[in-house]
Amino acid sequence: MLDDLLRIEREFNQALDEAGSDPDAVEAIRVRYLGRKAELTGLMKKLGTLSKEERPAAGKAINILKQKVAASLQNAADQAGNARRTARLAQERLDVTLPPRMPWTGTVHPTTHARRELESIFRGLGYTVESGPEVEDDFYNFQALNMPPEHPARDGADTFYLDGGLLLRTHTSPVQIRTMQNRKPPLKMICPGRVYRRDWDATHLPMFHQIEALVVDEGITMGDLKGTMDVVWKRYFGGRVRTRLRPAYFPFVEPGCEYDISCQVCAGDGCRICKQSGWIELGGAGMVHPAVFEAAGVDPELYTGFAFGLGIDRIAMMKYGIDDLRLLMENDTRFLRQFPL
């Protein structure tokens, strides 16, 4: 019988090794070695056939083995349970350090953002914000701005003409005329809005956004113009920008100039946008031409005024380092979602 017990123990240990941490296999081994039909149970029943002297030692040996088997099985069952729990926890694991999925919200278009910033700067300087129609007539877009019929500055190639003598305004200047017609000086106003020209390349769009500023009062000079520009650019770009004026002809100003600011994309070193010059032409400026005052009903003997205009899209490009104006028109959300920076 002792030989039987040693063999059973050996077989049991081997079976348990093979079962590993598989809970079903461990349970099968428990049934096989401790169940009603187990070999050990059979041996217990055979005790009666042994002699009186052999019986106690054999019974004790069987019980010891049963206890060993039971303890090993318990141990194996615990390990199997642990393994199963560990596997489940690994499967259900949450990494709380992962970045959350943010809800996709809309953003303000960079041009709109630039317009709002500029409006805020001008309002802070006491300017009113005016608006007017995008479909204009010849008087407001040309004649009142000292461009009579046949004037070369009216070059038809740049203008979108509509039926009935109407056109898409080529600048926001008509709003200046309408405002001067309706309000007496002193006047400090800006007119932001869409304007239309037949252009399409990296720095020109057929529709773009302009802001013009107009100041009319007694004793206004070019010095006021330059000083105002310096304040506006410094507030908009944060003090890192230079302005320069170059004499130029525009029918609606006298004297007139074009003005540049130092390129904010390359910090003046030269790049594609500034055509390697370090300067970006922002627009035209000058002292309001007396003929314009007359057309708008303002006395040119009593008042003087300055005006300047700029492209909002272009100034947004400068601020955000965008090197192709067309990006602003293509509605690519991968681009637009980055704004405002």
Question: What angle (nearest 5°) sits at the alpha carbon of residue 263, between those of residues 258 and 266?
Answer: 160
Query: What tokens were used for 284?
Result: 């035209």
Region from 188-196, 210-218, 269-277, 323-331 binding Zn ion, contact rule CB under 5 A: 269-277
> Is residue 315 part of the contact set for Zn ion (CB under 5 A)?
no
Query: What tokens were used for 149?
Result: 């019929």
Binding mask 142-181 for Zn ion (x = CB under 5 A): ----------------------------------------
Region from 87-95, 111-119, 215-223, 274-282 binding Zn ion, contact rule CB under 5 A: 274-282
For residue 118, the tally of other CB atoms under 10 A from its CB is: 22
Least separation in angstroms between residue 269's CB and Zn ion is 7
Candidates 34, 271, 329, 336; binder of Zn ion (CB under 5 A) is 271
Candidates 189, 225, 263, 316; binder of Zn ion (CB under 5 A) is 263
**In terms of CB distance, is 112 or 277 closer to Zn ion?**
277
Region from 36-44, 97-105, 221-229, 272-280 binding Zn ion, contact rule CB under 5 A: 272-280
User: Which residues is 201 bridged to in the sheet?
Assistant: 204
Query: What tokens were used for 52?
Result: 């009186």
> Is residue 265 part of the contact set for Zn ion (CB under 5 A)?
yes
| Residue 212 · residue 174 · CB < 8 Å | no
CB-based contacts of 129, cutoff 8 Å, min separation 6: 119, 122, 123, 189, 190, 191, 192
> Is residue 274 part of the contact set for Zn ion (CB under 5 A)?
yes
CB neighbour class for 212 (10 Å; exposed up to 12, middle 13-18, buried from 19)? buried
**In terms of CB distance, is 43 or 266 closer to Zn ion?**
266
What values do phi and psi take at 211, rounded to 5? -125, 135
**In terms of CB distance, is 213 or 263 closer to Zn ion?**
263
**DSSP-derived secondary structure letter, 18:** H
Candidates 40, 58, 266, 312; binder of Zn ion (CB under 5 A) is 266
Q: How far apart are CA 37 and CA 158, in angstroms?
A: 103
Least separation in angstroms between residue 271's CB and Zn ion is 3
Least separation in angstroms between residue 242's CB and Zn ion is 13
Which residues are near Zn ion by CB under 5 A? Answer: 263, 265-266, 271, 274
